[in-house]
Structure 1
Amino acid sequence: MLYNCGANQRGVRVALHPAFVTTALELPGYRIVRSLGLVRGIVVRSRSVFGTIGASLQTLVGGDITLFTNLCERTRQDALLRMEEHAVAMGANAVVAFRYDANEVMQGVTEVLAYGTAVVVEPIS
């Protein structure tokens, strides 16, 4: 149930299979045999001056501000991967009750938190 999803400082980033991270309280077809507690992944990011200028120019024409959309997507993905790494380090093979939260730390600096409950699941026979 583990798979490789990119490199970290040690050269390998191991995380959970996407099907085993859910906002639900259970995984259909699986039983939770052990709850390991809260896991989280935190990323704090700021916008660059160039990105802010580029996004400001995009607002002139309207529509999707792709520079900010891409920044938000990358930040959430990084927070999710950090949470998954935390879960794997605790011995989990799944995360239930998964959520995101975001807060502005200061102007132009945002914290994104991915969190959930690390669990060990096994197939229902």
Structure 2
Amino acid sequence: MGGVATVCVEVVVGLPAQVVWEAVADVGAVHRRLLPGRVADARIEGDTRILTMPDGSRIRELILATDHDLRRLAYAVVEGQRLPLTYHHASFQVFDHPAGSRLVWLTDVLPHAMAGQVRARVERAIVEIGAALEQHGG
């Protein structure tokens, strides 16, 4: 029985790490700051972020940790998955980089066979996130 399939993608952003972290940590503004166009709206209810997609569907994410010292945000998708996943946990972490910052997105998924489909989605999304951050200055 292997471990959870982990997908890791990253992007270098031409902005200081603290600026990128502030955008990532602004969990209720993902639709404006990180994925405009891909996420239509976001709202917070307690520890849950509810994303509304452009087609009107909703995804519920449990925000597990927002660590300002580590510049790390962890969350789990708990409802509304678009893929047949039984487990979905992810984290963003922001690191200093000579060109500005490095944003790393780790996603753990089950079943393992779905890792390829998840990778394709997050590879596209991390590029969009980097572009959105640079375009709007964070």
Tell me if both proteins adopt one fold, taking TM over 0.5 as the criterion.
no
Q: Normalising to structure 2: TM-score of the pair? A: 0.25
Which structure has the larger Rg over C-alpha atoms? 1
Which structure is richer in relative contact order (CA contacts within 8 A, separation 6 or more)? Answer: 1
Q: Normalising to structure 1: TM-score of the pair? A: 0.27
